[in-house]
Amino acid sequence: MRAPRILFVCTGNICRSPTAEGVLLHHARQSGLELIVDSAGTSAEEMGNPPDARARQIAQSRGYVLPDRRARQVRANDFITFDRILAMTETHLRTLERRATAETTARLERFMTYAPERGVSDVPDPWYGGLADYEQALDLIEAGVEGLLRALRAAG
CA angle 5/15/22 to nearest 5° reads 40
Question: Residue 76, CB half-sphere, CA atoms under 13 Å: how many?
Answer: 3
In the set 10, 15, 56, 84, the catalytic residue is 10
**Is 16 assigned a catalytic role?**
yes
The helix or strand, by DSSP H or E, that contains position 155, with its residue range, turns out to be: helix 131-155
Per the annotation, the verdict on 10 as an active-site residue is yes
* Cα(71)–Cα(66) distance, integer angstroms: 12
The active-site residue out of 16, 54, 84, 110 is: 16
* Residue 124 identity: P
Q: Which of 83, 122, 125, 139 is catalytic?
A: 125
Contact 79, 90 (CB under 8 A): no
Q: Which residues are catalytic?
A: 10, 16, 125
